[in-house]
């Protein structure tokens, strides 16, 4: 048995002892529990003490990280070596947020000078638009941006805008991702083409949904402004020639390289819309927050490394205790899109059934991620979280000081975040419920007591930001990026390809041809029936 296989067996065996062991009991048994399982990382505080592992289990999990080669893999990631073998690519998104003047290489090719030049161009354009130095075809200042992209070209920028936007922004930023025509209709509604920039984001500039929506936006601009409307188009692509052929002026095409994965691309020119709408200095602070987390991940010992510990907590639940679902609940309205972002980051990265050599995996990989903003979800799925038949670990996030609003409201929000974590862990015994019902008819007590009992022992991680600044947001996103990477390393999978998204897209092209009158294809009876029913 290899060292890694032995480490996995040891963790999975140790976790069995946590099934019926009260998490709360570990605080008495381990006086140093809080000290070991809480830590300050760049821009955030992490509390993993409500996870089900004991101190001994944590040591076993750390041994797994060592046996799995996390430190060596981390070094390869930052060195720009091939960590995406199926596409023979590096995954050097960390270079996008590195300090200016860095000397980083992807597969031996220098990339830092190009990154610095792109960042300078983004800053220059953002400054020109915001100051009014760059105006539209009719001389009017730009007051709105429509960002068109899908997947990684949408989730990251949308999250950043939602998290950091002013309450009353001087430049409005809207997003369109879905090929459903309603999405573009909503994005353009009420806007003046003379005051609107359209930013089209697509690595290949051939993505069906994005190009369809871009064609709609281009027609909308040209209908109002003529051919001069093309001056309102910006593009972010790894295929600049294709973007220019579409009609985007050459000096308004911003590039990024194929070693920038879509779900890791917000740090690149993909964040252009945010840089304009928020300001280049805000975008630079966002990059700095990601860079600070990179340094922490790269240099902190495993036992005090926030991404590593967060990943190990997930693996302990996913593989040690067989819990295939995880919730993410930000108690911050500005972070309500974080669960959506993490669905792509984690499930597209690690939702794999084969390892990086093509062999079937032998244990569960990515968990299903779901969530939304607290306190809203307390009135939705928290019934299941507390009393459902499945135990669902949860990441609870909170921001100590809100960017706006009443302090009294913020205090109530924080009280709920803390209370839910406590309630999930400690529960409420049937004896306590019966004591509360004392004086009621015994038959009623016998009926209600089991229903009002909370068994507790449901784990949570608590992530606290002091304030939701651009730096804090950057650190938070980088934290989850590195967590996802560590998990992929330990599962032996490639976290940077996504073959699973291809089949449905390929079939859709063929079916579209049929819907538009083309020759019928060979399908199963259900698919044939639907195509026949919906033919144009």
Catalytic-role residue among 379, 404, 406, 516? 379
Query: Is 483 a catalytic site residue?
Result: no
Spatial neighbors of 20 by CB under 8 A, at least 6 apart, are none
Tell me which H or E stretch contains 407.
helix 407-426
- Two tokens, residue 270: 């993909």
Q: Cα(152)–Cα(160) distance, rounded to whole angstroms?
A: 12
Catalytic-role residue among 100, 357, 505, 535? 505
Give the N- to C-terminal CA distance of the chain in Å, as an integer: 60
Beta-carbon count within 10 A of 504 CB:
9
Cα 280 from chain centre: 22
Strand-strand pairing, 38-41 and 44-47: antiparallel
- Two tokens, residue 301: 């010992």
Query: Is 81 a catalytic site residue?
Result: no
Residue with tokens 């040591």: 59
Phi-psi region of 80 (alpha: psi -120 to 50; beta: other; left: phi over 0): left
Catalytic-role residue among 43, 209, 348, 481? 348
Going by the DSSP 8-state scheme, the letter that residue 473 receives in this structure is H
Query: Is 209 a catalytic site residue?
Result: no
Spatial neighbors of 488 by CB under 8 A, at least 6 apart, are 349, 350, 494, 495
Q: Cα(104)–Cα(95) distance, rounded to whole angstroms?
A: 7
> Which residue numbers are catalytic?
348, 379, 505
């Amino acid at each position: 048995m290899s060292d890694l296989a032995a480490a996995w067996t040891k963790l999975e065996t140790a976790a069995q002892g946590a099934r019926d062991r009260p998490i709360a009991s570990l605080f008495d048994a381990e006086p140093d529990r809080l000290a070991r399982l809480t830590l300050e990382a760049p821009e955030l505080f992490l509390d993993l003490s409500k996870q089900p592992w004991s101190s001994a289990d944590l040591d076993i999990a750390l041994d797994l990280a060592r046996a799995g080669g996390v430190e060596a893999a981390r070094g390869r990631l930052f060195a720009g070596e091939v960590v995406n073998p199926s596409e023979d690519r590096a995954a050097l998104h960390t270079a996008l947020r590195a300090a200016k003047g860095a000397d980083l290489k992807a597969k031996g090719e220098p990339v830092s000078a190009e990154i610095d030049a792109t960042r300078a161009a983004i800053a220059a354009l953002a400054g020109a638009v915001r100051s009014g130095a760059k105006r539209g075809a009719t001389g009017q200042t730009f007051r709105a941006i429509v960002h068109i992209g899908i997947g990684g070209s949408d989730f990251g920028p949308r999250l950043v805008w939602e998290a950091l936007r002013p309450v009353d922004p001087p430049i409005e930023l809207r997003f369109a991702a879905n090929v459903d025509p309603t999405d573009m209709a909503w994005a353009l509604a009420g806007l003046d083409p003379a005051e609107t920039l359209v930013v089209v984001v697509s690595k290949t500039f051939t993505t069906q949904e994005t190009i369809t929506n871009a064609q709609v936006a281009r027609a909308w601009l040209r209908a109002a402004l003529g051919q001069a409307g093309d001056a309102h188009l910006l593009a972010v692509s790894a295929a600049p020639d294709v973007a220019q052929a579409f009609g985007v002026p050459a000096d308004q095409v911003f590039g990024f390289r194929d070693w920038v994965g879509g779900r890791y691309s917000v740090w690149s020119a993909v964040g252009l819309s945010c840089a304009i709408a928020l300001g280049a200095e805000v975008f630079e602070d966002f990059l700095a927050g990601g860079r600070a987390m990179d340094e922490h991940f790269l240099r902190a010992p495993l036992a005090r490394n926030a991404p590593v510990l967060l990943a190990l907590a997930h693996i302990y639940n996913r593989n040690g205790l067989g819990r295939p679902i995880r919730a993410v609940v930000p108690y911050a309205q500005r972070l309500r899109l974080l669960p959506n972002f993490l669905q792509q980051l984690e499930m597209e990265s690690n939702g794999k059934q084969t390892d990086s050599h093509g062999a079937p995996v032998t244990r569960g990989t990515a968990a299903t991620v779901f969530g939304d903003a607290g306190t809203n979800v307390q009135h939705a799925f928290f019934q299941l979280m507390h009393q459902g038949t499945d135990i669902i670990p949860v990441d609870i996030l909170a921001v100590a000081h809100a960017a706006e609003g009443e302090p009294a409201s913020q205090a109530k929000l924080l009280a709920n975040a803390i209370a839910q974590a406590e309630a999930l862990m400690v529960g409420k015994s049937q004896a306590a419920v019966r004591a509360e019902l004392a004086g009621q008819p015994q038959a009623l007590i016998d009926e209600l007591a089991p229903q009002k009992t909370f068994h507790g022992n449901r784990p949570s991680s608590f992530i606290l930001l002091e304030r939701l600044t651009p730096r804090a947001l950057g650190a938070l996103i980088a934290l989850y990026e590195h967590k996802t990477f560590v998990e992929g390393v330990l599962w032996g999978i490639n976290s940077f390809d996504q073959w699973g998204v291809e089949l449905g897209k390929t079939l859709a092209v063929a079916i579209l041809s049929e819907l538009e009158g083309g020759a019928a294809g060979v399908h199963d009876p259900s698919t044939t029936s639907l195509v026949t029913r919906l033919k144009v």
